[in-house]
Chain A
Amino acid sequence: MRLLRRLLGELNSGYEADESRIIRINDQYFSLDALLGSPPARRSLVYAGLYLGRDRRVFEPSAALMEALSKERETRKIHVNRETAWLFVCGRDVFQENILLAEGELSPGSYCLVVFDGWCIGYGRYETVWGSRMIRNCFNIGDFLRREGSTQ
């Protein structure tokens, strides 16, 4: 939870997870609504409710959490076109000139969500590399394809 809270702070998000509804399965965190209540047979449970993400060395947010954060006004985000979005999903960084719109102040070291056509596709860190300003790719939804490759 500490890593999740840190990520939320870095994105300037006001998102508040109700910790009484959060359960942990191995290194993954899930939020359960009241109807799902307390799941039976916990030892066999592998996934539950809204997947928030997992603790690695940093918190790796789920697509669902990023989508929820992108709907909040205060969360820092940038908007990109399809071509840039595709490159980002493939793991590339976003150069300053390819940012269509930035919401919230971007300063070196700050984190932001990357949004295409209203949908969140990942997040990155604003950096200056060799004189070029860019959003360094931290995490993107192309991870679904990489996971498929690693679990087949």
Chain B
Amino acid sequence: MGLSRGREFFLGRYRELGRDLKGDESTPQAIRVNPLKIGDEALLGVMSSVSVELEKLPFLDHGYRVISAGFSLGSTIEYLLGLYSLQEAASQLPVQALRPGPGDTALDMCSAPGGKTTQMAAYMGNTGRLYAMDSSRGRLYAVENNLERCGVTNCLLYHGDAAEIELGLTFQKILLDAPCSGNYVTDPLWFTKRTLKDVEANAERQRRLMSRALELLEPGGRLLYSTCSLEPEEDELNVQWLLDRSDVELSPVEGPGQPGLTNVFGVELDRSLSMCMRVWPDDAGTQGFFAAKVVKR
């Protein structure tokens, strides 16, 4: 048996899954307007006045691709004021698909660095109750900064492992943007770092978090499970694992990608997995991404 690692190994797997990727795809910088502070049109006007050119991403509510900027967009006055956040295009999709609303009680299980948490607060209009947590105290400082910068006031942020922390609550909407193996688009050294063993270890951890998420979900509530991994062990196979063990069903995820895989390396999966969204890096000029919307019966 050959080494379960390296560029050719992973690209070969993607070919087996029906996608012939080059392995050098990249994603342009993208921003998300923060509607808690400013409207899209007003921000576009401000950014245009300082010669920043933006283009609306058609599949996102408040997402824009950066066409040109003569300086770092992570250190402008507008950024520091929280008028926008730097957030890769595909990573804006999960919260948009979950769509927590005003008055909801929602949970973000793996919050750091906080981009999706602030996005959830924006969809909730800073109302209701947004609980967020992360197991890394060091990474929570970034979440705290983002909450403050973006003017979020409806969030309670905790330090703890989402699989273990006990809040004594159930939730209508849960985001599980799980820690994952990532993908080569956002990390040039990805192929040299990752092995199939890593992928399997991450998949196991993700299943633990998924189980906990279902315990915390109210009947009829929605869990949005997402990763930025292209590996089916962390995506479709994990969702199949959940379908096999729980009283849940899938609901369609709208977006720019492809339907979730229903055949992985010759193994037939539940046909409803096609309601998931799999974004390959050459689909829409984004990083790789996967999202499944699970409804608890």
Contacts and interface: CB of A to CB of B under 8 A. Distances in A.
Interface residues of A, number: 33
Max count, chain B CB within 10 A of own CB: residue among A47, A85, A145, A148: A47
A46 B153 contact: no
Task: Identify whether the interface residues of B are mostly helix, strand, loop, or mixed.
Answer: mixed
A48 B130 CA distance: 10
Contacts of A49: 153-156
A101 interface: no
A35 B128 contact: yes
Interface string A137-152: 0000110110110010
Interface stretch (B25-33, B143-151, B268-276): B143-151
Nearest to B76: A86
Contacts of A117: 46
B130 to A, nearest CB: 9
A51 B156 contact: no
Contacts of B143: 47
Interface in A40-84: 40-41, 44-51, 62-64, 67, 82
A41 B81 contact: no
A36 B142 contact: no
Interface string B123-163: 00001110001000110111111011101011111111000
A47 B157 contact: yes
A89 B80 CA distance: 9
Contacts of A50: 153
Given A41-B167, A82-B77, A141-B80, A151 B151 contact: no
A15 interface: no
A39 interface: yes
Interface of A: 33, 35-36, 39-41, 44-51, 62-64, 67, 82, 85-86, 89, 116-117, 119, 121, 141-142, 144-145, 147-148, 151
Interface of B: 46, 50, 75, 77, 80-82, 127-129, 133, 137-138, 140-145, 147-149, 151, 153-160, 165-169
Listed from nearest, the 8 A-B pairs whose CB atoms lie closest are: A47-B157, A151-B141, A141-B80, A50-B153, A44-B158, A40-B167, A44-B160, A47-B144
18 contacts: A40-B169, A41-B160, A44-B159, A44-B165, A47-B143, A47-B155, A49-B153, A49-B154, A51-B148, A63-B81, A63-B149, A64-B148, A64-B151, A121-B80, A141-B81, A147-B145, A148-B142, A148-B145
